[in-house]
Amino acid sequence: MTHFIRGAVAVLFLTSLGVGCAGTKAAGRDIASEIPGVSHASDGLVQEASENRISVVGIKDQPGPISFQIGTDTRIEKDGQRVALSELKPGTPVRVTWSSSTGAEKAYRIQVLTGGEAAKVRSEAQERGYGGAGQQGQ
């Protein structure tokens, strides 16, 4: 009986540690997303792009478009090659690497997604209500 009680206590203790770690990691991600200068990557569909700004919709856990500032140091790439800003047409699946800043978030790298990654981003955006015919993302 003593071994059973010790085993049960050990299981409860280890279970509580595991739950605590999961909560701590999630809280850490929430805090990190609000700290200026911390880098993030988000996938979505281009809503519109201009000379110094890109608006992206369909990003996970974001109810609307996110505006990213484009600077002279922002790299825009497709399949590992630099491309012009004009490649960023509405509905284009992208991955934006950015950091928090005052005003619009600062984009450091914008990757035009292709193949399976592009299909996955389009599908997820449609599930969130963006990208389909007659829906808010198009």
pLDDT per residue as tens digits for the range 69-84 = 999 999 999 999 999 9
- Percent of the chain as helix, strand, coil, to the nearest 5: 35, 35, 35
What is the pLDDT at residue 120? Answer: 97
Q: What is the rounded average pLDDT of the residues 88-94?
A: 97
Q: Which fold has domain 39-127?
A: OB fold (Dihydrolipoamide Acetyltransferase, E2P) (2.40.50)
**Are the beta carbons of 33 and 26 closer than 8 angstroms?**
no
How many Cβ atoms sit within 10 Å of the Cβ of residue 106? 20
**Are the beta carbons of 131 and 138 closer than 8 angstroms?**
yes
Q: What is the rounded average pLDDT of the residues 83-94?
A: 95
With cut-offs at 50, 70 and 90, classify the pLDDT of residue 1: low
**Are the beta carbons of 54 and 107 closer than 8 angstroms?**
yes
C-alpha–C-alpha distance, residues 72 and 29, integer Å: 29
- What is the residue extent of each domain of the chain? 1-32, 39-127
Encoding tokens for residue 120? 């996955």
Note every long-range contact of 53-59, with CB atoms under 8 Å and residues 24 or more positions apart, other chains counting.
53/104, 54/88, 54/94, 54/96, 54/107, 54/110, 56/94, 56/96, 57/125, 57/130, 57/131, 57/136, 57/137, 58/121, 58/124, 58/125, 58/126, 58/128, 58/130, 58/131, 58/137
Instruction: Tell me, yes or no, if the pTM score tops 0.75.
Output: no
What is the pLDDT at residue 119? Answer: 97
Q: What digits encode the pLDDT tens for the residues 19-54?
A: 444 444 333 334 444 555 678 999 999 999 998 999
What is the pLDDT at residue 122? Answer: 96
With cut-offs at 50, 70 and 90, classify the pLDDT of residue 13: very low
